[in-house]
Structure 1
Amino acid sequence: MTAVHPDSSIAERPTVLLAGVPWPLFKLEAIALGLVALLILLLVTGSPAVAVLGGAGLAAGRWALAAVSPRLQR
């Protein structure tokens, strides 16, 4: 179950238009971090399973921290 603090609003955060839809910048940063981590882990370990799990973990962590912490947002 997801809970969002009533004071947090996506409209107040910096957004980027992507196909006409405003996306919060922290979500795009999380996706980019996950992809970079996936590629690095794939090159280092050679294991797709480790790369996918590591990239997904880092992306989810960045997304969750930015969603609840106003200090991590620009």
Structure 2
Amino acid sequence: MAVVHPTDTERPRSHASVDIAGTAWPVYKLEALFAGVVVCLTLALITGSVQAAVLGATVIAALRWIIGGARGLR
């Protein structure tokens, strides 16, 4: 009978990650946050509307986050 110890079955990481304060963050999440900030600042300067800037930044960040997460499921 074979015995498998829980520490012996480590899943390989499918994403590159960056260590921030002891926590591994996938790069696609950091890209999503960065894209959101850039879009928010750009739209705020162009339109002068904070509401439109936040909404646009949220859409871009959420799309990048979802696409990055979906690619890791393959």
Question: By the TM > 0.5 criterion, same fold?
Answer: yes
Bigger radius of gyration among the two = 2
Of 60, 63, 68, 2:62 maps to 60
- Please list every run of 5 or more consecutive structure 1 residues that lacks an aligned counterpart in the other structure: 1-8
The match for 2:5 is none
Q: Which runs of 4+ in 1 moved over 4 A?
A: none
Could you say if the C-alpha distance between residues 43 and 10 of structure 1 is closer, same or farther in structure 2, counting changes exceeding 3 Å? farther
CA RMSD of aligned residues (A): 1.6
- Please list every run of 5 or more consecutive structure 2 residues that lacks an aligned counterpart in the other structure: 1-10
Q: Tell me the alpha carbon deviations over residues 14-48 of structure 1, each in whole angstroms, 9 at most, x when there is no partner.
A: 00001110000000000000000000000000000
Task: Give the TM-score normalised by structure 2.
Answer: 0.78
- Residue type of the alignment partner of 1:40: T
Percent of aligned pairs sharing the same letter: 40
